[in-house]
Structure 1
Amino acid sequence: MNRKSLSDDLRLILKTLDASHASRHLEILFDAEYEDYIRDLSPHLSVELSSLAIYEYNATSTTIQRLLLESAKRKIMLFVLCSTGSIFNLFQIIQLQTLKSHFIKWVLVSGTEKTGFDVKYGLEGKIFEGTEISLLNNLGSGKFSVFSSHVDYQGVTRFLFKGVWDNKIPETRRQLPLLMGFREEEEHFTDMQGRRMTVAVLELWPFVRFNEVLKDGTILADSGTDILMLNALSTALNFTYRLVAPKDSTWGFPQPDGTVSGMIGMVARREAAFAICSISIHEKRKTVVDFSTWYSQGYLQIFSRAPKQKSRALAVLSPFPLQVWIGITISVLGTATILALQSKMLDLYRINRMLNVEEYYFNIFRSLVIQGNMIKAKLWSQRFILFFWYLFCLINAALYSGMLTAVITVPEFETPINALSDLARAVKEGFTLGVTRETTNEYIFKEATEGIYKEIWGLFNHKDRSKSFVDRPPTGMKWVLEKKFVFIWYGIMGKNIAEELGRSKFHISRDTFFPDNFGIPVPPGVPYEEPFSRILLKMIEGGLLNKWEADAFRKNPKPRISDDEEGRFSAFTLSHLQAAFILLALGTLLALITLIIEVLLRIVVNKDRVVYLSLYTLN
Structure 2
Amino acid sequence: MVIHLTLFLYMVLASLCDGLLPASLPRSGEEKMLPVLHEVVGTVLDAQCSIFIVTNGNTTATTISKFLRRNASPRGVGVFEVPGSDYSPRTTGGKELQEVIQTARKLRESSWCVNVVVLSDDPAFLASFAESSLRGRLLVWATRLLVVTRLPLQELRQLYQALSLTNSALLVLGQDLLFASVYVQLPYRPSSGQLQKVASWSSRGGLVLQQQVFPDKFSRFPEGASLTVAAEEYIPHVEVVESPGPPFSFIGPMANLLDILAKSMNFTYSFQRPPDGAWGGRLPDGSYNGMVGMVSRKEVDLGLGPFGMSTVRAAVVDFTKPILIDYARILGGKGRAEIDPWGFLLPLTPEVWAGLAALGLLVILTVALLSYLSGQRLPGRGSRNLYFAVVRTLLIQDAKVPKGRRWERVLLAGWMIVTLVTVKSYAGNLMSLLAVRHIPQPYQSVRDVLDDASCTMIWEANTAYVQFVESVSSGTFHEVSKAGEAGRILYKKSTQYQDAIDSFVRSRPYVLILEDLTHKVLMGQDFSNTGRCDFYTSRELFLPFIFAMIGQKNHPLVPALNKRITAITEAGLYTHWVEATIPNSTTCARPPSKITVTSSLSLANLWGMFALLLGGQVLGMLMLALEISIHWLSC
Q: TM-score, normalised by structure 2?
A: 0.69
Give the distance between the partners of 1:225 and 1:498, measured in 2 at CA. Answer: 19
Q: Which residue of 2 is the match for residue 512 of structure 1?
A: 541
Offset at 1:435? 2.1
Larger CA Rg, structure 1 vs 2: 1
| 3-state SS of 1:204 partner | coil
| Residue 520 of structure 1, CA deviation | 1.7
The reply to whether residue 182 of structure 1 matches residue 207 of structure 2 is no
- Tell whether the 8 Å contact from 1:264 to 1:285 is kept in structure 2 after alignment: yes
Q: What's the C-alpha RMSD, in Å, of the aligned pairs? A: 4.2
Match of 1:210 in 2: 240
Question: Is it true that 1:48 corresponds to 2:70 in the alignment?
Answer: yes
Question: Structure 2 CA distance, aligned partners of 1:291 and 1:494?
Answer: 25
1:95, 1:128 within 8 Å by CA — same for their partners in 2? Answer: no
Q: Gapped runs of 5+ residues in structure 1?
A: 329-378, 588-619
The 3-state SS of whatever aligns with 2:258 is helix
CA distance change for structure 1 residues 491 and 135 in 2, over 3 Å: closer, same or farther? same
Give the deviation of 1:317 after TM superposition.
8.5
Does the 8 A contact of 1:302 with 1:417 survive in 2? yes
Query: How has the CA–CA distance of structure 1 residues 466 and 487 changed in structure 2, closer, same or farther, with 3 Å as cutoff?
Result: closer
Does the C-alpha gap of structure 1 residues 18 and 129 become closer, same or farther in structure 2, counting only changes over 3 Å? Answer: closer
1:49-448 pair list within 5 angstroms: 49-51=71-73, 52-57=77-82, 58-60=93-95, 61-72=98-109, 73-82=111-120, 83-94=122-133, 101-113=140-152, 117-118=154-155, 120-124=156-160, 127=162, 130-142=165-177, 143-152=179-188, 158-162=193-197, 165-171=200-206, 173-175=207-209, 182-183=213-214, 185=216, 188-212=218-242, 218-221=247-250, 223-310=251-338, 312=340, 390-391=392-393, 393-394=395-396, 405=431, 407-414=433-440, 416-425=442-451, 427-428=452-453, 430-448=454-472
Q: Secondary structure at the match of 2:64?
A: helix
Q: Which moved more, 1:130-139 or 1:243-252?
A: 130-139
CA contact (8 A) 1:196 1:241 kept: yes
| Long gaps (5+) in structure 2 | 1-23, 83-92, 358-380, 397-418, 614-635
Q: CA deviation at 1:224?
A: 0.9
SS at match of 1:141: coil
CA distance in 1, matches of 2:609, 2:595: 30
Aligned-residue offset at 1:167: 3.5
**In 2 relative to 1, CA 270–140 (structure 1 residues): closer, same or farther, beyond 3 Å?**
same
- The alignment status of 1:497 with 2:522, answered yes or no, reads yes
Aligned residues of 1:117 and 1:137 also touching (Cα < 8 A): no
CA gap 1:292/1:103 in 2 versus in 1, 3 angstroms: same
SS at 1:196's partner residue? strand
Alpha-carbon deviation of 1:194? 2.5
> How much has 1:386 moved relative to structure 2?
8.8
Cα offset, 1:174, TM superposition? 4.4
Q: State the 1:102 CA deviation.
A: 2.3
Task: Please name the residue that 2:26 is paired with.
Answer: 3
Q: Which residue of 2 aligns with 1:547?
A: 576
- Residue identity over aligned pairs, in percent, reads 18
Aligned length: 517
Distance of 2:272 and 2:563 partners within structure 1: 25
Contact 1:149–1:157 at 8 Å: present in 2 too? Answer: no
CA gap 1:524/1:160 in 2 versus in 1, 3 angstroms: same
2-structure distance, mates of 1:569, 1:579:
13
Does structure 2 retain, via aligned residues, the 8 Å contact 1:199–1:243?
Answer: yes
Change (3 A) 1:254 1:382: closer
SS across alignment from 1:236: helix
> 2-side partners of 1:560 and 1:469: how far apart?
24
TM-score by length of 1: 0.71
- 245-254 vs 536-545, which deviates more? 536-545
Any idea what SS the aligned residue of 1:88 has? helix
Q: Out of 507-516 and 126-135, give the one that drifted further.
A: 126-135
**Which has the larger displacement, 503-512 or 244-253?**
503-512
Q: Does structure 2 retain, via aligned residues, the 8 Å contact 1:29–1:79?
A: yes
Q: Distance in 2 between matches of 1:387 and 1:318?
A: 26
1:524 matched to 2:560? The reply is no
Greater mean alpha carbon deviation, residues 514-523 or residues 237-246:
514-523
Specify the alignment match of 1:12 in structure 2. 35
How many angstroms does 1:282 deviate by?
2.1
Q: For the Cα contact (< 8 Å) 1:302–1:488, is it kept in 2?
A: yes
**How far apart are the structure 1 equivalents of 2:183 and 2:303?**
31
CA distance in 2, matches of 1:380, 1:110: 122
Distance in 2 between the 1:420 and 1:406 partners? 34
Would the alpha carbon gap of residues 567 and 398 (structure 1) be closer, same or farther in structure 2, given more than 3 Å must change? closer
* Conserved? CA contact 2:333–2:508, under 8 Å: no
Give the corresponding residue for 1:345. Answer: none
* Range with greater deviation from structure 2 (381-390 or 477-486): 381-390
Does the C-alpha gap of structure 1 residues 406 and 13 become closer, same or farther in structure 2, counting only changes over 3 Å? farther
For 1:470 and 1:534, how far apart are their aligned partners in 2?
32
Change over 3 Å in CA distance of 1:449–1:219 after alignment to 2: same
Q: Aligned letter for 2:124? A: G
| Aligned pair partner of 1:462 in 456, 464, 485 | 485
